[in-house]
Chain A
Amino acid sequence: MKLSSHLFIFLTIFSGFWLDSVIATFNIRTYITLLEGIPYLVETCIGFLILSYWIYALPEKIQSSAALFYGLLIDLFFGSAIGFNMLFFSGISYVIHVYVFRFRIFSYLQLIIFFGGASIFYIACKYLIFSPENYSYLLLLVSFFINALLWLPIYYLMRSMRRTFL
């Protein structure tokens, strides 16, 4: 795959993570000002879902090395511990590659459930590694529904972008 295509894919993933950070900032502010009494409820994974889409759509072009490199860059740019996103990007890449042809015959609902589940696995690991005291099943449950709902718009948006630019 061309370098420009990689750059384009990385830019979409980067935008997704940037959007995640913006939403998280907004969520945290809202939580602090309004909802201090209840647990922190939502964590979006737009960047992770975008990466999942690209692997799902172009499995032959995004292999382990690409996933590892994207993860490294995201870790660097967003200040995560180096290796975290590398690990999960490689992991999700492997899982999708293994089942990619089964996904082709999945219904939208099944895809939603799978990618929603993958995203809450990502969130759960993130909380367990970096912030175990804030780990909450309610957060995972709500995040599952939110990310599952987000999958379809991301899917259609990325598909239209893929058809237009790649």
Chain B
Amino acid sequence: MARVTPTHTPATKYILACLLAITLLLSDINYQTFSSLRGGVQATGIYSQLFLGSLFSRLLAFNTLNEDKKTLIRENHQLRDQLQLFKNKVFLEKQLQLIRTDLLDLEHGLQNLMDVGQVRIFKIGSFGLANYLCCSKHILHLQNPNQLNVLNNLPVAIDKTFIGQTKTQHLGLIEVILFSDISHVLPASINGLPCNAQGAGQPMLARCTVTADSIEPGIETTSPVLTSGLGGVFPKGVRIGSVQSIDKISLDEFSIEIRLDGNPINHSYFGVLGGS
């Protein structure tokens, strides 16, 4: 059990230690010999405590300050995000307002066109600008995400005029052939003179070829060109453009260039008139 061999404990060292302790104790109690030493140690202890307390409170204050800064930075980020969100919202509202205005204008224009009954508005899906500006084929596609059944050969309008007619429908897109397409022929009327306005293959341009004896004196540049209603697609008497020039192409034939009013480039929404 014992880890060392039992030995005799010499009392001398303990007696000396006790005598030393008693001497110190008596001198301290009676003469306050070590009061300065004791006081110094206690003062050191107290100062240490105060110093540590001060250090701790400073650390705490620093930590609080740091937390405040972090909170401010976080709030700043939040405010910046909110501002960004607000800006985006305002921008989107503005865009929405523009679209609404556009739609209202379109509706207003369509109301003036005719009393066909049903008017449906579609957003543009794609427009072959390269072909439109260079070549003969002038086609645009309207989005039909709800797959509404839109018949072929229905008038397509913007503002207060027509620009073409529906040709066919593929999946969610309605193909529209414009008046300026070279394969499109529109029965028109210029000051009562009926003619077939064929697309010129150039933007906003169509041509009528008429005989020399049919040209009346009243037909001149800026004369309005109206739909004749003979094709059964477009209603009668709606202005689609004006005469731009009248050229003699042979002895008894004249070519009348018609400047079309509807410019599809400037519009995002198009109305399709007529039932499904």
Contacts and interface: CB of A to CB of B under 8 A. Distances in A.
20 contacts: A63-B13, A64-B17, A71-B21, A76-B38, A77-B45, A81-B25, A81-B29, A82-B34, A83-B23, A83-B25, A83-B27, A90-B17, A91-B18, A93-B14, A94-B18, A97-B9, A98-B9, A101-B2, A129-B25, A129-B29
Contact of B21 (A77, A79, A86, A101): A86
Contacts of A63: 13
A24 interface: no
B41 A83 contact: no
A67 B18 CA distance: 10
A16 to B, nearest CB: 17
Contacts, number: 75
B11 interface: yes
A81 B139 CA distance: 111
A19 to B, nearest CB: 16
Nearest to B8: A98
A60 interface: yes
Interface residues of B, number: 29
B72 interface: no
Interface in B23-37: 23-29, 33-34, 37
A84 B34 CA distance: 12
A94 B34 contact: no
A65 interface: yes
B6 A82 contact: no
A1 to B, nearest CB: 13
Contact of B13 (A64, A71, A87): A64
B28 to A, nearest CB: 4
B178 to A, nearest CB: 94
A84 B6 CA distance: 30
Given A64-B14, A81-B29, A87 B42 contact: no
Contacts of B28: 81-83
A49 interface: no
Contact of A104 (B2, B14, B22, B26): B2
B170 interface: no
Q: Which of B9, B28, B42: most chain A Cβ within 10 A?
A: B9
Contacts of A94: 9, 11, 14, 18
Contacts of B24: 82-83, 86
Given A79-B38, A104-B2, A84 B14 contact: no
Interface in A74-115: 75-77, 79, 81-84, 86-87, 90-91, 93-94, 97-98, 101, 104-105
A29 to B, nearest CB: 19
A76 B42 CA distance: 8
A82 B36 CA distance: 11
